[in-house]
Amino acid sequence: MTNMRDLQDKYADLLAIAKRLSVIGSAGAILHWDLETKMPPKGIRQRSEQLALLEVIAHQTLVDPRVGMLLDALTKEHALASMDDVQKRNVHLMKKAYDEEVALPEELVEAIAKQSAITVDRWKKAKAAKDYSLYRPELDSMIQLRKESAAILRDVKGSRTEYDALLDIYEPGMTEGRISDVFTEMRDGLMRIMHSVASSDARPDLSIMKRRVPVEMQLGISKEAMSFIGYQTEGAEAAGRLDETEHPFTIGYYDDVRITTHYYEDRFMSSLFSVLHEGGHALYEQALPREWIYQPVGNTCSHGIHESQSRFVENIVGRSPEFLSYILPRLRSMTGGALDDLEERDFVLAVNAVMPSKIRIEADEVTYGLHIIIRFELEKDIMDGKLSVDELPQAWNEKYRRYLGVEVQHDSEGVMQDTHWAGGSIGYFPSYALGNLYGGMFLRKMETDVPDWKESVARGDFAPVRSWLADNVHSKGNLYDPADLVKVVTGKDLDVEPFIGYLDEKFGAIYGY
């Protein structure tokens, strides 16, 4: 029988491999950031080779036979009995990653990495040209590679469908059947609120949101937003930075977590909310337990939990009447007179306008979930072979007409508006709506623990909210799967009602229905 010292040595060896994987992954993340922000256009082919090499190195590191031998020893009953919860979780997460990765051929891993960089680059060009035909062949190649990997992962994970195997990458333990049930309940609640808002006499003045504010002034607004949430980009203690990209994102690990935004002179609030959104992601990454750095348990829980944190900061806090009351005087002082005549009531109503739209990232809190349901249904059909890449634009447009009552004029505001499928992230989209549901549950618990949080926000003090999120969510790292984390934090299983209840209370007060 393996003695205790030998088990400790094996566990230490496993953590050393986990650290190597974390370092490789964080290096690849910075290369991705550079690809989106600073890299010259001609560098895409070289960058695809660089990213593919890192993916192959990570793959080779994880599937090394020694990893299998370490896991064999550490997963025996007597070995697990000697471990605490953190050690057991680290072993579980490494075993899951090993089993899945060892099943994937190295050439497939490399092909997916290369195709991802190439397809994203083609997506950017096709979107700018409003020409889906430029993008279609590379997207088709990306989807075929994802289907190939999903077929392998389905067997390894024991998933019911290939799509379930991909969903598990982003939201461990979640299935399309569970999502369909939850999304049906969510859709019904959202539609009811939409009808209540539409019947209200309150009519937001949307021209407020189109007032022109030069980008130079918006840079100052971004700094104000980052200061409010405590995301540092300047000074010796800075662990982040803000740059501009076509599609805002967050990337990084612990002490180097970077966010991006996009500026529109005639949509000055767009960048403010993208900074708050991405800043919410960054705060999560930066507040993970320091003692768990480089360990599997030291990562974030899931994409849905991640999204709950970003949308909590952006929407629950950032679009609240209390925050808007706090920020409006500061916006007036930073925009050269553009907002001097703006009344707070009109501002709150315009920011929280509920209106079906074509663009997901610009959608209001109520209609946003319908954008995700559309993508979820299309992804399922793609993976089931019911929908081809050629048919995708028309199917997209028909669903937008049916669910949101809007007419898509061209594919850049339609099927090409998101980068996710170009990057191969099929199964990612449901996490956005699940994040809203998790956030609603977290809010209900926080309201019990910090009943005066709104008053703090109105004073410009985000610290009580940030501390609650850090103590209750961020501090748990990847110790639990998402469903278990939600139950640990709230004491309840996944429930749609808290989110719908939050929307009803907020929009009922704003619209007077």
- 419-431 pLDDT, tens digit each: 999 999 999 999 9
Dist. CA 118–CA 247, nearest whole Å? 16
Dist. CA 373–CA 73, nearest whole Å? 44
Instruction: Output b/e per residue, 233-253; b: 16+ Cβ within 10 A.
Output: beeeeebbbbeebebbbbbbb
Q: What is the largest CA-CA distance in the chain?
A: 78
More confident residue, 361 or 318: 318
Residue 246 pLDDT level (bands cut at 50, 70, 90):
confident
Dist. CA 72–CA 80, nearest whole Å? 11
Question: How is residue 214 annotated by DSSP?
Answer: -
Dist. CA 288–CA 300, nearest whole Å? 8
Neighbours of 198 (CB within 10 A): 12
Dist. CA 494–CA 222, nearest whole Å? 34
Query: Mean pLDDT over residues 391-418, rounded?
Result: 96
Distances (CA, A) of 458 to 224, 288, 318, 322: 15, 27, 11, 5
Amino acid at 75: T
Dist. CA 160–CA 498, nearest whole Å? 30
211 pLDDT higher than 90? yes
Domain-located, residue 492? yes
Q: Convert 438-463 into a string of H (helix), E (strand) and C (coil).
A: HHHHHHHHHHHHCCCHHHHHHCCCCH
Burial of 5 (0-12, 13-18, 19+ CB in 10 A): exposed
Query: Mean pLDDT over residues 158-186, rounded?
Result: 96
Contact 429, 420 (CB under 8 A): yes
Provide the CB-side half-sphere exposure for 500 (13 A, CA).
Answer: 18
Dist. CA 244–CA 176, nearest whole Å? 34
Domain-located, residue 315? yes
3 pLDDT higher than 90? no
Domain-located, residue 165? no
Domain-located, residue 82? no
Q: Which domain range does residue 457 map to?
A: 176-511
Neighbours of 272 (CB within 10 A): 21
Dist. CA 50–CA 227, nearest whole Å? 35
**pLDDT tens track for 117-158:** 999 999 999 999 999 999 999 999 999 999 999 999 999 999
Dist. CA 56–CA 52, nearest whole Å? 6
Residue 438: predicted pLDDT:
98
Structure tokens at 93: 């997460």
167 pLDDT higher than 60? yes
Dist. CA 46–CA 70, nearest whole Å? 36
Domain-located, residue 424? yes
Answering whether pTM is above 0.85, one says: yes
The total of structural domains in the chain comes to 1
Can you give the length of the chain in residues? Answer: 513
Contact 482, 168 (CB under 8 A): no
Domain-located, residue 201? yes
Q: What are phi and psi of 358, to 5 degrees?
A: -95, -20
Question: How is residue 234 annotated by DSSP?
Answer: S
Dist. CA 198–CA 202, nearest whole Å? 9
**pLDDT tens track for 248-269:** 999 999 999 999 999 999 999 9
1 pLDDT higher than 60? no
Domain-located, residue 136? no
Domain-located, residue 54? no
Query: Mean pLDDT over residues 218-228, rounded?
Result: 97
Dist. CA 508–CA 457, nearest whole Å? 21
Nearest by Cα to 121 from 134, 133, 112: 134
Q: What CATH number corresponds to the domain at position 238?
A: 1.10.1370.30
- What are the residue numbers of the active site? 278
**pLDDT tens track for 74-84:** 999 999 999 99
Which residues, 6+ apart, have CB-to-CB distance to 152 below 8 Å? 103, 104, 108
Residue 99: predicted pLDDT:
96
Which residues, 6+ apart, have CB-to-CB distance to 226 below 8 Å? 232, 233, 242, 275, 279
Residue 2: predicted pLDDT:
58
